[in-house]
């Protein structure tokens, strides 16, 4: 007897704005993923808005979540053309931000950047279920 892995995939597209990121996270929450998935998605969406908008780029945020029963994958795509993956640096103890990728990396099985030349990238994070 052969079994195939059940896979669900959900994709949302919203404006590259803080409201777009919040709306994407809420839309994802309605699909009832584990809390860790929502935390990772929220961090990736916030980073995309903060860094892609700071670079003066307009466009869309795309968030995709998929579940194959053993892993859950979150992908966030933005128009910033990074050529190297962001690193999770230890922030100053008094800093109010800068801990997001540390949390993501602590929860993730893997994190990778998929470039989309000439513009944009996808940050893909896989978590164990």
Residue with the bigger pLDDT between 121 and 82: it is 121
Which runs of consecutive H residues, i.e. helices, occur in the chain?
18-29, 35-54, 100-107
Is 70 exceeded by the pLDDT of residue 4?
no
Give the other-Cβ count within 10 Å of 25's Cβ: 20
Instruction: Give pTM, 2 decimals.
Output: 0.83
Mean pLDDT of the chain: 83
Is 70 exceeded by the pLDDT of residue 91?
no
Classify each residue of 63-84 as buried b or exposed e, where b means 16 or more C-beta atoms within 10 Å of its C-beta.
bbbebeeeebbbbbbbbbeeee
The CA distance from 62 to 78, in Å, is: 7
Q: Measured in whole angstroms, how far is the alpha carbon of residue 29 from the centre of its chain?
A: 14
Domain boundaries, the chain: 8-128
The mean pLDDT of 121-127, rounded to a whole number, is 92
Is 70 exceeded by the pLDDT of residue 57?
no
Class of domain 8-128: alpha beta
């Amino acid at each position: 007897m052969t079994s195939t892995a059940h896979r669900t995939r959900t994709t949302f597209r919203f404006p590259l704005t803080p409201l777009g990121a919040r709306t994407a996270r809420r839309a994802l929450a309605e699909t009832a993923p584990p809390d860790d998935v929502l935390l990772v998605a929220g961090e990736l969406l916030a980073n995309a808005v903060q860094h892609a908008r700071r670079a003066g780029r307009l466009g869309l945020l795309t968030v995709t979540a998929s579940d194959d029963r053993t892993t859950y994958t979150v992908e966030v795509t933005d128009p910033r053309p990074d050529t190297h993956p962001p690193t999770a640096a230890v922030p100053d103890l008094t800093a109010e931000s800068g801990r997001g990728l540390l949390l993501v990396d602590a929860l993730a099985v893997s994190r990778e950047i998929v470039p989309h030349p000439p513009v944009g990238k996808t940050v893909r994070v896989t978590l164990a279920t």
